[in-house]
Chains A and B, each alone.
Chain A
Amino acid sequence: MNQAGQAARRRRKLLIFGGIAAAVLVVFVLPAETGFDPLGVGAATGLDEIADPDNPELERGMARMERQDVLALSDTAPEPVAGVADTWEYELAPYDSVEFKYTLREGAPVTFRWEATGPLNYDMHAHPFEGGVELTESYGVGEAQAMQGTYTPAFTGEHGWYWDNRSTDNVTLRLTASGPLTTSTIYAGGTAAERPIAGATQTIEGTVEGHEMQGAAAE
C-alpha cells in the first residue's frame, strides 16, 4: 500500500475511534457524571441517578419541614436556652467520618452551633425511637464549615449530624448546644458509644433499632 493510502487509513481509524469515544461520552458518561442528558438516555436507563441519587431520607425531612418548624438556621450564634449546655470537640483525620447524636424529646427546642477548621460534608438528620432508621429524616445535606440555629425535634429519638472530612488535612470540629439535652451517642469507626452529658438530669428511654453509621462504607 502506498504512503497516501496508509495515511488515509490511519485518519479514518482515528475518526472512527474518536467518534465512538465522543458518542460514549455524550450518551453514557455525561448523564452519569454530571446529569447533563441531551439524548435522554440517562433518564431512560437510570444512569442520571448516579449523578443525583434519590435520597428518601432528605425527601422525608423536606416534607416534614414544609409542615412544621424543625430547623431554623441563624446568621449569629443563637442565645443559649434553659437546660444543659454541652460542648464537644472531635478531630477528623483525612477521609475520616463521625456521627454525633443527641437524644431529644419531641417538641423541646435546642440551640446549636458547630464550626470546623475546614469544610466538611454534613448530613443533619434524626431517627425516631418509634420506627427507627426506616423513618430517618434528613434536614440538610451539603458541605459547610459552620452551622448554627435552633432545632425543634419533630419526634423523640436521636438527632444530630454525620460529618465526613473529604480533604487531605485534619479538621477539628467543635459543637456547642444547649437545651433539654439528655445524653448523646458517638458513632465512629463502626461502633456506637454513649457519651453522658455533664449536668443532664432528664433521661429518655429508647433506642434506634438497626442504626448503623451513615456512610459507614466510606471507611
Chain B
Amino acid sequence: MALAVPAFAHDVAEGDKAFVRTVDGPAIVPFMYLGAKHMVTGYDHIAFLIGVVFFLRRLREVALYVSMFTIGHSTTLLGGVLLGFGVNSYIIDAIIGLSVVYKGVENIGGFRRIGLEIDTRLAVLVFGLFHGLGLAAKLMELEMSPNGLLANLISFNVGVEIGQLLVLTFVVLLLGAWRERPSFRKYAFAANVALIIAGLLLTGVQIEGYFSS
C-alpha cells in the first residue's frame, strides 16, 4: 500500500509543477486550465460532488448545494494561499476523504437512523472549506511567484469552478438518465455504500501517508 500512496495522493501533475515554477507574472488562461484540470481529474472532489447531487432532482437544489460548496472552497483557496496557512495536506486530504464518507452515509439515511439531525447545507459548506484548504496546500507546494499571484490565484479558482461545472454537468446528466430506470432504486443504496468505501479508502491512504511522511 505504501508504494501506491503517491499515485493516490491527488497532486498537481508533475509536468504542470515545472510549468508553475517557471511562471513569473500573470498567466490567466493557463491557470484557469490548471484549475479546471485539477477538478476534472480530482477523484476526491468528484466523489464528494457525486454524493452531494445523488438524490437531487431539481436544478435549483443542485445550484444551492453546489453554491455552498463553491463559497466554502473559494474562501479557503484564496485565503489559504494569500495568508499562507500551512496545513498538512495529508490531514486535509484525509478530511476530504471523510467528507465523501459523510455524504454517502447521509444518502443512505444513516444519520437519521441514529437520530442525528445535520443541516446538509452547513455540512457541505464546511467540507467546502476543507476542499479549498486542500487546493491551497497543493498550490502552496508549487511556490508560485509573488509576481501576478493574485491574478493567477483567481484564475485558478475560476478554472476550478469551470471544471466543477463540467464534472457536474456530466454527473447530473448521467444520474438523471439512471434515475429513470428501475435499476436506480435497486442499486442506489449499493452506489452510496461504494462511495463510503471509496471515502474510507481515501482517508486511510492519506492517514497512512501522514504517518509515513
Contacts and interface: CB of A to CB of B under 8 A. Distances in A.
Interface string B1-38: 00100110000001111110111000111100110010
Contacts of B14: 166, 218
B30 A49 contact: yes
Nearest to A169: B3
Given A32-B30, A47-B29, A47-B30, A217 B141 contact: yes
B22 A53 contact: yes
A46 B143 contact: no
A94 B3 contact: yes
Interface of B: 3, 6-7, 14-19, 21-23, 27-30, 33-34, 37, 141-143, 166, 169, 173
Nearest to B166: A24
A46 B18 contact: no
Nearest to A141: B18
Interface string A24-49: 10001000100000000000011101
Interface in A125-168: 166, 168
A215 B23 CA distance: 14
A50 B30 contact: yes
B16 A95 contact: no
A66 interface: no
Interface range on chain A: under 10, 10 to 19, 20 to 34, or 35 or more?
20 to 34
B33 A50 contact: yes
B22 A56 contact: yes
A54 interface: yes
B15 A218 contact: no
Contacts of B7: 168
A168 B4 CA distance: 8
A219 B22 CA distance: 18
B27 to A, nearest CB: 5
B29 A46 contact: yes
Contacts of A3: none
A76 interface: no
Contacts of A95: 6
A28 to B, nearest CB: 6
A32 B6 contact: no
Q: Pick the most buried of B15, B19, B37: most chain A CB atoms within 10 A of its CB.
A: B19
A23 interface: no
B6 A217 contact: no
A121 B6 CA distance: 17
B143 A216 contact: yes
Closest 10 CB pairs of A and B: A45-B29, A53-B19, A53-B22, A50-B19, A95-B6, A217-B141, A46-B30, A168-B3, A53-B18, A217-B142
B66 to A, nearest CB: 19
Contact of B34 (A17, A24, A50, A168): A50
B143 A47 contact: no
9 contacts: A17-B173, A24-B166, A32-B37, A45-B29, A53-B18, A95-B6, A166-B14, A216-B143, A218-B17
